[in-house]
Amino acid sequence: MTEQMKTSIVTEEVKLLNVTEEIVRGLVTFTIHGPDYPTFCRCQKCELDICAITLNHLDNHFVTTKEARERAYTILKTPESIEKINKQIIHAIHIVSQKSTH
C-alpha cells in the first residue's frame, strides 16, 4: 500500500449509514408535526416508536460512502417508494396511538 493510499484511508471519514432510516426519521417528524395528526403525542418516545415500527417493515439500505448514499436516495425518493414508506408510517402511528408506552 502506498503512502498516499494510507493517508486517504485515514483522512476519509467512513460511516455506516442506513439511508432508509434517514428518510423515515424525516418523514415521521414531518408527518406527526403536520396538520393531519394534531392530537397525536409528539414526544421523542412516541416519535422513535413510530420510526422503529416503520423501519421493521421496510428494507434497509446501508451505505458507507457519500456516493452510495446519493444512489440510495435516488432509489428511495421515487413516488412509489415514498408512498410505501408513508403507508408504513401511518400504520405505525395507529399502532403507537393505540398502545402508547407512556
Amino acid at 51: C
Per-residue pLDDT tens digits for 47-82 = 999 999 999 999 999 999 999 999 999 999 999 999
User: pTM, whole model, 2 decimals?
Assistant: 0.82
Secondary structure string (H, E, C) spanning the chain: CCHHHHHHHHHCCCCCEEHHHHHHHHHHHHHHCCCCCCCCCCCHHHHHHHHHHHHCCCCCCEECCHHHHHHHHHHHCCHHHHHHHHHHHHHHHHHHHHCCCC
The grid coordinates listed for 83 are: 408512498
